[in-house]
């Protein structure tokens, strides 16, 4: 196979090439994480946009939808393929490795790409670096999936924009309060 990604120039696996040939990408994904004490977030690809929802400490992390080009989506799903996400289980649990963590944290990732579906997740446990069938309480491959999403869609720049806007709004509020009547 001689196909390579137009984004990275790296060779694509047969599975990745099959996912992305044929024009406009028909893809969706949702990555969610729920933390102890109620904070949670979700990132969702729908209609060429990354949509964010968050609560608690994540409530104002991003303030607008993030455009997602076909090239960015392709690059992200190449990372998904590299990380073997379709082989991840939907039931990672610390009990798999004789540990107990009771803080109520959980995560999930679902994706649909041209009819191929994957659904994985866990509670306080993740797929290990060594093998996605093995469980770890470290973020392992899930941490890499999260990092790939941030990198491919340049999410940090949107987080910075939201922080700058929040700081400017706060400063305007302080300036308004400091004005003499």
Which pLDDT score, from 0 to 100, does residue 98 have? 95
Percent of the chain with pLDDT over 90: 62
Q: How confident is the model at residue 72 (pLDDT cuts 50, 70, 90)?
A: very high
Are residues 60 and 166 in contact, defined by beta-carbon separation less than 8 angstroms?
A: yes
Minimal CA–CA distance to 122: which of 89, 87, 91, 144?
Answer: 91
Q: Which helix (H) or strand (E) holds 131?
A: none
**Mean pLDDT on 39-56:** 94
Domains and their CATH numbers in the chain: 23-165 (3.30.1560.10)
Q: For 79-126, how does the pLDDT look when each residue is reduced to its tens digit (9 = 90+)?
A: 999 999 999 999 999 999 999 988 889 999 999 988 889 999 999 999
Which pLDDT score, from 0 to 100, does residue 155 have? 94
Are residues 103 and 36 in contact, defined by beta-carbon separation less than 8 angstroms?
A: yes
Distance CA 51, CA 63 (A): 10
**Mean pLDDT on 131-158:** 95
Asked if the model's pLDDT at residue 34 lies above 90, the reply is yes
Which pLDDT score, from 0 to 100, does residue 175 have? 64
């Amino acid at each position: 196979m001689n196909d390579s990604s137009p984004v990275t120039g790296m060779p694509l696996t047969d599975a990745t090439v099959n996912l992305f040939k044929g024009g406009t990408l028909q893809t969706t994904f949702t990555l969610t994480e729920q933390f102890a004490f109620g904070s949670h977030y979700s990132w969702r690809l729908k209609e060429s946009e990354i949509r964010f929802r968050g609560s608690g400490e994540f409530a104002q992390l991003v303030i607008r939808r993030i455009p997602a080009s076909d090239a960015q989506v392709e690059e992200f799903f190449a990372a998904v393929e590299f990380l073997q996400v379709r082989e991840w289980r939907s039931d990672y649990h610390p009990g798999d490795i004789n540990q107990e963590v009771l803080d109520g944290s959980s995560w999930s990732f679902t994706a649909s790409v041209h009819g191929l579906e994957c659904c994985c997740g866990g509670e306080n446990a993740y797929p290990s670096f060594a093998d996605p069938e093995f469980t770890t309480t470290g973020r392992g491959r899930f941490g890499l999936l999260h990092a790939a999403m941030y990198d491919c869609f340049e999410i940090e720049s949107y987080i910075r924009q939201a922080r700058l806007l929040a700081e400017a709004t706060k400063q305007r509020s302080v300036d308004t309060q400091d004005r003499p009547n």
